Amino acid sequence: MRQYPHLYIDGRWTEPIEPRERELVDPTHEEVFAQVALGGAADVDRAVAAARHAFESFSTTSVEERIALIDRVIDVYESHIGDFSELIAREVGIPVSNRAQVTGPAEHLRAARDVLREYPFESRVGSAIVRREPIGVCALISPWNWPVQTGVIKVVYALAAGCTVVAKPSLNSAASGVLLAQVLHEAEVPPGVFNLVNGTGREVGDALSHHPSVDMISFTGSTAAGKQVGAAAAGTVKRTCLELGGKSANIVLPDADLERAARWNIQRCFFNAGQSCHAPSRMLVHESQVEQVVPFLVDEARRYRLGDPLQRSTTMGPVVSAAQFTSIRDHIQSGLDEGARLVTGGVERPDGLDRGYFVRPTVFTGVTSDMRIAREEVFGPVLAVLSYRDEDDALRIANDSPYGLGGYVFGGRRTNAHRVVNGLRAGRISYNGAATDSHTPMGGYKQSGIGRSMGRFGLEEYLEVKSVYGFEDEAQALPTLFG
C-alpha cells in the first residue's frame, strides 16, 4: 500500500490540520493501492497565506530568473518521466504505451519558457506605457484524464507570469499531483510559490473558489462543476479561466478520403479510452456514404488491445472509476434504447476481462441529434455517427450543441473545407487530422469554457494590464502594442 500522507505548503511536506485519508482504487484490479492525505478549508487558508507572502518577492523576479526556474523544472521532470508513467497507469488506468501523457508536459514546459523569453511585459500605445503584471495568487484545479499535462500547463504559465500557486488535483489522480509537487520541490521552487492541497471539490475546491485572497482560479473539468466554480468565484470577482466539457464533431465531407477519416476518427476519439474533452465523439458523414465508412470504423475499433495498462502491449486500459464505468455503459444502453444501430462494442464486458472498469470500444450509426449519445459528453470509448444532407446541414448539426471545445473537418478541396472550418463554433479546429501546436491557445466556445490556456494567450490569463501615463520618454523606447 502506497502512502501519501502529506500536503505541500510553504516549501514543506506537512500533515493536514485534521488528518484524514482517501483510498485510491486501481481501476484495473478494482483494489485499493494507495492512500492520500485530504486537506480541508483550514489547510487552504495556510496554503493561500504562504502563496500571498511569497508573491511579494516572486512577482518581482526577472524574466531571466523565471526562465532559469523553468529550466530546472524541465530537468527534474524529465528524470521522473518513468515514475509518472507507472503511477498514472496505476491510479487512472492510462497505458504506459501512451507516451504523450508523460512526454507532453515537457513539451509544454519548453513552450512556456519560449513564450516567456519573447513576451513584451511593457509596450507602448501612443505616449502611454502598457504594463503586464502578475495577477497574484492563483488557484489551479486540474482533472484526472490528463493528470500530469493539465497540471503542468497551469503551473508553468502561472510561474512564468510571476504568480504564486495553490494547486488541487482531482482526487482520482491525487498521487501524481504529489509527484508533481516533488518535482517542483527538487527544482527548488521558492517556498510558498507552489503549494499543493489534495482534497474534495466540495471542500477544498469550494474554499479556493470563495477565498478572498485568491486572485485567479483556473479550472479544468466538467461543465457542471465549472458552473459551480464560476458562481463561487463571482462573489469575490476573481479572474476565472474554465476549460470544460466537449462534444466535438468531425465533419467528413463527400470528397474526403473516407478510410483515412474513419480510422483517424476512431484513433482520436478512443485515445485515452475516450476520456478526452476534445474527442471527436460525433462523426458526421454524408447520408450517401455512411455504409462505406462502417467497415473502416469497425475494423479500427477492434484493433484495440484492452488489458493491464502496465503492459506495453496494451493500447486501451480501463476507464478511471466505477462511477465512470457505470455512466458510460448507461449511455451505451441509452443508444440502444433510443434506436441507434450498434455496429461494434456494447454494454457487455470485453472478453476475458471480468475485473476492472473496462469498456468495449463502441460505435453507433443511425444516430440523431436528439439522442443522449449525440448531446451528452459520454467521456468514454463511444462514437456516434450522424448523417447529413449537405454542408449547411452538417454545420447546423455540428453547432447544435451547448459545447464548443473542438472541431474537425476532413475533405479534399481546401477552399471548400476552409469555409466549413470557419463555420464551426469551437475553439480548436483541425483539418485532415493536422496536429495541434503547444504554442497555440486552447479553450472553448459556449459552455465549453471561458479563457484560454497555452502559448501567449495562456500566459496572459495570469497577467493584469496597467496603463501608465506621464512617462513619454520612457514609452518611446518600448515596442508599440499594435504593430
Which of 243, 300, 377, 461 is flagged as catalytic? Answer: 243
Q: Identify the helix (H) or strand (E) that includes residue 141.
A: strand 137-141
Identify whether 472 is a catalytic site residue. Answer: no
Residue 221 CA to residue 225 CA, distance in Å, equals: 7
CB 154 within 8 A of CB 143: no
CB 129 within 8 A of CB 25: no
Q: What is the DSSP annotation of 85-110?
A: HHHHHHHH---TT-THHHHHHHHHHH
Which residues are bridge partners to 66 per DSSP?
none
Going by DSSP bridges, is the β-strand pair 406-410/249-252 parallel, antiparallel, or unpaired?
A: parallel
Residue 273 is given by DSSP the state G
Going by DSSP bridges, is the β-strand pair 449-450/239-243 parallel, antiparallel, or unpaired?
A: antiparallel
Residue with cell string 459551480: 228
CB 92 within 8 A of CB 210: no
CB 20 within 8 A of CB 38: yes
Residue ranges of the alpha helices (H) in 302-438?
322-337, 372-375, 391-399, 414-423
Q: What is the DSSP annotation of 184-229?
A: HHHTTPPTTTEEE----IIIIIHHHHH-TT--EEEEES-HHHHHHH
Catalytic positions are 243
